[in-house]
Structure 1
Amino acid sequence: MIDFRYHLVSIVAIFLALAVGVVLGTTLLQEPAVRSAREVTAQLTKSKEELRTQLDALQSRETGNDTFIAAMTPSMVAGDLTGQRVLLVETPGSSTTMREAAQQVLTQAGAQISGRLALTEKLLDPKATGVLDGLVNQLKPANMTFPTTATSWDRAATLISAAFVTTDPAQAGTPNPATADVVSAFETGGLLSTEGDPLKRATLAVMFTPEKPYEGESAELQAGALVSMASGLDVAGKGTVLAGTAITTAVPGDAIGALRDDSEISKRVSSVDTADMPAGRVAIVYSLREQLSGRAGQYGIGKGNSAPLPAVPSATPSPTNQSGS
């Protein structure tokens, strides 16, 4: 009969064998394992240093390119928008720095800035569509009609845009008598604010998207509301550009992505997703010039772009005087 002492000795022998095995295994494998770990660490360190060098070189090249383009911008855009009035539209979360930099380039292109229109979070709130509908029904001119498929933001955009832009150059710089009470009512309702004299209508508009895409359950609706506003401005004026920064992945709250995904509106409204770069600000000017000719495009480096910037019209070559011998 196997007694308790036998069990105890067996258990002790097992654990002793395990301990001896661990000690022997560690001793035998220690040097190869350490050597391998050191080799991997050295390789990772080397790779990191190489990537750091490449990144520094790319950043240096980008800085050089940006410096060159910024220096050449006045000559690149000179006269492109002479005689045009441009409305600047800010959205909740858009960058003041980006807007100011774009404004400077627009001025260098010969445009006159009519003023600034700032949309508020309340205007984009899905819960406030009842307020929008009520104001639109109350304030719209008798001859203003909407498609049966128009959303609350589509209707509001049509009404608001009529107060700020026009397709008629002869009417540029003058208020729209049919929408005299629209802006004050929307301002009183906390839906928008203005600066400058934007009621003296512009012919073109640039809308700046939020620095970060909208998030949450209403993100897609908010991005769609901005697209509706850009579309309304485009229809009421001679062209609109939606400007912002490139988003690396598709997200519901990205207004530029929402515009590019709309096959109909993207045929009319242009977008530039490099507005934070000197080249992007030149692209805004070129896009507005393209809009004046009845064309549109999606420019930049982000998803859905058609090219980095619009095609630059080539200068007409001077005729060569050739004489016979």
Structure 2
Amino acid sequence: MIDFRYHLASIVSIFLALTVGIVLGTSLLQGPALRTTQDLTAQLAATKEELRTQVVALERLQAENDAYIASTTPERVAEVLAGERVLLMEAPDANPAEREAIQKALRHAGADYAGRATLTNAYVDQQRLDELDLLVNRLMPDGMAVDPAATTYDKAAMLLGSALMTNDPARVRTRNKETLTVLDEFGRAGLLSIDGEPGRRATLAVMIAPEDPFQGADTEAQAGALVSLAAGLDAAGRGSVLAGGATSTTPGGLIAALRGKNETVKHVTAVDTADTPLGRITVVHALREQLSGRAGQYGTGTGASSFPLMTSRSTPSPRR
């Protein structure tokens, strides 16, 4: 019979053999393994430095390209929007620098700048939806046809579109009889503020997307509220363009929400590079395209079909 001492001796022998093997293996392989690791580390460091140099060079080239395009913007958009009155609709938390740059491009294009209407976060606050519904129903003029399936935001979009936009050239720079009341009441409710004379109606509108995507449980409803408004401005006037940066094409972004609306996307144009000089030129030409009854999705984000857009200043056909 094999006794306990035999088992113990066997176990000790096994561990001794393992220890000797580990010591021998480490001693024999330490040099080659260490050299391989050092060589790989040096190679990765060199690759990282090379890539960093390339990134710096590309950023410098992009900055030079942007500077050149910005300097030539006046001639690239000259007279493209001559005779057209354009409203800026600023979404909550839009980037002021982006808005100012778009406003400047519109003026270079010869547009009659109507001013801007700036929405507050209260407009998309789902806790205030009932309050908005009561306000809209109270202000809705007699005779305005409303789809029974229209949401509160659809009706608000119709109301604001009627107050701010017209598709009749003879009524440009005029107010309808409800305009002042609507803008005043929306202002009193803390939903919107105005700068300039947006109440003297425009033919075209640019909505500037929020700088950051919406987040949280109400994301879809908040983005949908602004998409509805862009569609309402488009329907009441001769066209609208939604302008944003790359973040607006990510989940919760306003352009991403627009491009997910199969019907609205047929009428409202979106430019997802409006935070660049070339993108702002595209916004101007997209407005001109809207006058011809066409819409497009421009930029580099998901759902964009082409980039950039250039149109001639030909006489547009009736939009609707």
TM-score calculated relative to the size of structure 1 = 0.90
Q: Which segments of 5 or more consecutive residues in structure 1 lack a partner in the other structure?
A: 316-325
Closer/same/farther in 2, CA of residues 122 and 199 from structure 1, 3 Å limit? same
Who is 1:98 aligned against? 98
Deviation at 1:82, TM superposition (A): 1.4
Who is 2:278 aligned against? 279
CA distance in 2, matches of 1:309, 1:205: 20
Does residue 116 of the first structure (1) align with residue 116 of the second (2)?
A: yes
Closer/same/farther in 2, CA of residues 273 and 144 from structure 1, 3 Å limit? same
Moved more, 21-30 or 232-241: 21-30
Deviation at 1:90, TM superposition (A): 1.2
Who is 2:222 aligned against? 222
Deviation at 1:40, TM superposition (A): 1.6
CA distance in 2, matches of 1:64, 1:85: 32
Moved more, 167-176 or 262-271: 167-176
CA distance in 2, matches of 1:96, 1:270: 21
Who is 1:320 aligned against? none
Amino acid at match of 1:283: T
CA distance in 1, matches of 2:250, 2:82: 37
CA distance in 2, matches of 1:10, 1:267: 81
CA distance in 1, matches of 2:20, 2:148: 84
Who is 1:268 aligned against? 267
CA distance in 1, matches of 2:313, 2:120: 41
* CA shift digits 1:201-252 (9 cap, x unpaired): 121111111111111111111111111000000011111110001249751x
Who is 1:310 aligned against? 309
Q: Which segments of 5 or more consecutive residues in structure 2 lack a partner in the other structure?
A: 315-320
Does residue 72 of the first structure (1) align with residue 72 of the second (2)?
A: yes
* CA shift digits 1:93-126 (9 cap, x unpaired): 2100000011111111111221111111121122
Deviation at 1:129, TM superposition (A): 2.1
CA distance in 1, matches of 2:53, 2:152: 52
Does residue 41 of the first structure (1) align with residue 41 of the second (2)?
A: yes
CA distance in 2, matches of 1:249, 1:262: 13
Deviation at 1:311, TM superposition (A): 3.5
Closer/same/farther in 2, CA of residues 314 and 207 from structure 1, 3 Å limit? closer
Aligned-residue identity in percent: 53
Closer/same/farther in 2, CA of residues 55 and 248 from structure 1, 3 Å limit? farther
CA distance in 2, matches of 1:154, 1:248: 21
Who is 1:62 aligned against? 62
Amino acid at match of 2:154: D
Query: Residue 180 of structure 1: SS of its match in structure 2?
Result: helix
Who is 1:256 aligned against? 255
Query: Residue 308 of structure 2: SS of its match in structure 1?
Result: coil
CA distance in 1, matches of 2:115, 2:149: 31
Closer/same/farther in 2, CA of residues 170 and 249 from structure 1, 3 Å limit? closer
Amino acid at match of 1:256: I
Contact 2:300 2:307 in 1 (8 A): yes
Contact 1:157 1:232 in 2 (8 A): yes
CA distance in 2, matches of 1:72, 1:120: 34
Contact 2:163 2:179 in 1 (8 A): yes
Amino acid at match of 2:303: G
Amino acid at match of 1:297: G
Amino acid at match of 1:307: S
Deviation at 1:313, TM superposition (A): 2.9
CA distance in 2, matches of 1:262, 1:310: 22
CA distance in 1, matches of 2:170, 2:295: 24
Query: Residue 177 of structure 1: SS of its match in structure 2?
Result: coil
Who is 1:143 aligned against? 143
Deviation at 1:302, TM superposition (A): 0.7
Contact 2:157 2:232 in 1 (8 A): yes
TM-score calculated relative to the size of structure 2 = 0.91
